[in-house]
Amino acid sequence: MSTIRVLVHGATGRMGREVINALCGASDMEPVGGVCRSPKTDTLSLPDGSGDIPLSSNLEESLASTRPQVVVDFSNAEACMRAAVQTLERSIPFVTGTSGLSEDDLARLEHIAGDGGVGVIVAPNFALGAVVLMSLAQKAAPFFDYVDIIEAHHEGKIDAPSGTALALARSIADSREFTHNQPQKENLPGTRGGQYKGVGIHSLRQPGRSAHHEVIFGATGQTFSLRHDTLSRDCYMPGVLCAIRQVVNLKGLVLGLDKILGV
């Protein structure tokens, strides 16, 4: 059985290391290289003890030397877009879980991938439970007048709200217009949080957190809550591996893991 050659962009970060570990455990995949901003060595030891892979700060050189069939990215929005363009222009499929991509960024990826006939998957969250949460929230949304999203992550997360929270808000807001009331007097500015088309969003950043998303719907005399908690980063890996397997057969942009899972 042939294996899928995978290069990891953001290889030394928390998620990058988890991806490499998952690749080592997948019989149909092979990690062939890593890219990070400031590598301390030119190789990266694989966690299963099977050897080393080249590690570089130059993605273009790594693409040429390692010849990956898929690039997986967990970096930041700016680095992700640079990597995506370089990768897709070489007709190499691209998978990313990086948050903070704008509507313009997604439109650009869709244009490049569509013109090149190559696949790209952008997933705000690879946890299967979070994907189910989004599906259930979409089903509940038409029946309620108010909705707020509370999300919590570790104190080092660079963006707020999370990509998952934004994706939830966008998918919920597609169904109807919600009420986001403002108090007559706001004693502390920003207390009501942010909002997206009437969907309230509140972000917590605290030590000890991994990822928490809760959607709270409200209507006369009742509330309805949906919640998902990530306990460790390995919960994302089945979704990442699934995306790698699927993206090699795609053309154009797929936004959200739910599209390939059929949820």
Where do the structural domains in the chain lie, given as residue ranges?
A: 4-126+233-258, 128-230
> Which residue stretches of the chain have pLDDT < 50?
none
Distance from C-alpha of 199 to C-alpha of 187, rounded to nearest angstrom: 21
Active-site residue list: 153, 157
Distance from C-alpha of 240 to C-alpha of 132, rounded to nearest angstrom: 16
List 223's β-bridge partners, or say none. Answer: 218
Cβ within 8 Å of residue 115, ≥6 positions away: none
- The beta strand positions in 2-100, using DSSP E, are 4-9, 29-35, 43-45, 52-56, 70-73, 94-96
Cβ within 8 Å of residue 40, ≥6 positions away: none
- For residue 231, give the H/E element and its range: none
Distance from C-alpha of 101 to C-alpha of 109, rounded to nearest angstrom: 10
Distance from C-alpha of 99 to C-alpha of 193, rounded to nearest angstrom: 19
Q: Residues, the chain, total?
A: 263
What is the arrangement of strands in the sheet containing 43-45, beginning at the earlier edge strand? Answer: 43-45, 52-56, 29-35, 4-9, 70-73, 94-96, 119-122, 252-255
Question: Domain 128-230 in CATH: superfamily?
Answer: Dihydrodipicolinate Reductase; domain 2 (3.30.360.10)
Distance from C-alpha of 219 to C-alpha of 71, rounded to nearest angstrom: 44
Instruction: Please check whether the two domains, 4-126+233-258 and 128-230, share a CATH topology.
Output: no
Q: What angle do CA 229, 233, 239 make, to 5 degrees?
A: 90
Task: Cite the DSSP H helix spans in 92-177.
Answer: 103-116, 128-140, 163-173
Distance from C-alpha of 189 to C-alpha of 172, rounded to nearest angstrom: 26
Q: What is the model's pLDDT at position 1?
A: 58
153-178 as b/e, with b when 16 or more CB fall inside 10 Å? Answer: beeebeebbbbbbbbbbbbbbebeeb
Q: Summarize pLDDT for 102-115 with one digit per residue, the tens.
A: 889 999 999 999 99
Classified as helix, coil or strand, 78 is: helix
List 226's β-bridge partners, or say none. Answer: 215
Question: Domain 4-126+233-258 in CATH: superfamily?
Answer: NAD(P)-binding Rossmann-like Domain (3.40.50.720)
* Residue from 111, 191, 103, 197 nearest 147 by CA: 197
Task: Give the residue carrying structure tokens 């997206």.
Answer: 196
- Tell me how far the alpha carbon of residue 250 is from its chain's centroid: 18
* Residue from 112, 114, 13 nearest 72 by CA: 13
